[in-house]
Amino acid sequence: MAEPRRRCYDGTIMQTPLDVRREIKEARQEGRPVVALESTVIAHGLPWPQNLDAARRVEAAVRAGGAIPATIAVLSGCPVIGLSAAELETFARSADPASDLHGRVRKAGRRDLAAAIAQRAHAATTVSGTMALAGEAGLSVFATGGIGGVHPAVDGRQAFDVSADLHELARTPMLVVCAGAKNILDLAATLEVLETLAVPVVGYGTDEFPAFYLRGSGLSCSARVESPQEAAALASAHWQLGGAGVVLAQPLPAEHALDPATYRAALTEAEALARSQGVTGSALTPFLLAQLARLTQGRTLAANLALLEANARLAAQVAVALSQ
């Protein structure tokens, strides 16, 4: 029995599960580099209108680096590889409390994609959701802010809250450029899980694993590279050996890094507020990030924007090296 045809967000009929936009499709056919980009940071990670500015700057950084940006999301149940400028703005406006779409855009990891598609919902893709769809589209380089990981113990008890990002890295062959993992996580445990899953954690110009808003965590990467070409060679070798994801961790620009003591004080206050309000699960990370921006007078927001742009630039350079 033939697979039923489905209508995409723009009303067109498609035969395949993915709507790969023309620019992306042509680039793939011609062997030109493409960089996948997530959409959760637009809809759930940054406030309006800074989120739209960030999305535009990230795509521009990819193009300046010689690659094609492919922002990924689910629109009315249709997985799209390469949002248009108008669709990008629509997703960004969903973070505006005055928007009709506010609160109606889901946050979708791999687990949530099927429900979003079947229920014809709008969904912003997380790291794992973006990797899943980008992998289906044949993309091999992805730029994000920070990967998820293992959440810290609560009252001395391990909550077993482990991000799906780590398992996606173990199953999808893709180089993920990031600024390490978010500081709200148990970074030592996160690195242990990545080691168990045989995911290389490669420092770009550093031996120390970056910690998102902080340039270092005091923890070691499993390898170090000094150039996009070296990163591309390492990833290629890993894939030839049957490996899957590779984490390429780049410290955020020094001028935007936070003072560790100031950051930890703000995080302690934000976590206490989350506990008092009963914020848990998938709502915890966006809540903490919003509180950190407030408590640091916007310095974490500026750092987030800077590292997103820097990671997009590096991802483009690695994608170019892989295409050559």
| Phi, psi for 178 (deg, rounded to 5) | -150, 175
Written as one letter, the residue type at 284 is: L
Place of tokens 């990797």: 131
- Tell me, yes or no, if 182 is annotated catalytic: yes
**Which DSSP letter does residue 146 get?**
-
Helices 164-171 and 187-196: crossing angle, nearest 10°? Answer: 30
Distance separating alpha carbons of residues 24 and 16, to the nearest angstrom: 15
Nearest CA-CA partner of 165 in 18, 35, 38 = 38
The residues that bridge with 26 in the sheet, in sequence order, are none
CB atoms within 10 A of CB 178: 26
Distance separating alpha carbons of residues 219 and 221, to the nearest angstrom: 7
Contact 149, 187 (CB under 8 A): yes
Give the three-class secondary structure for 78.
Answer: strand
Active-site pick, 38, 168, 271, 309: 38
Contact 165, 265 (CB under 8 A): no
Active-site pick, 59, 182, 271, 309: 182
Contact 209, 201 (CB under 8 A): yes
Written as one letter, the residue type at 272 is: A
Contact 111, 144 (CB under 8 A): no
Written as one letter, the residue type at 199 is: V
Nearest CA-CA partner of 222 in 185, 193, 254, 257 = 193
Read off the tokens for 313. Answer: 């630039």
| Residues labelled as active-site residues | 38, 182
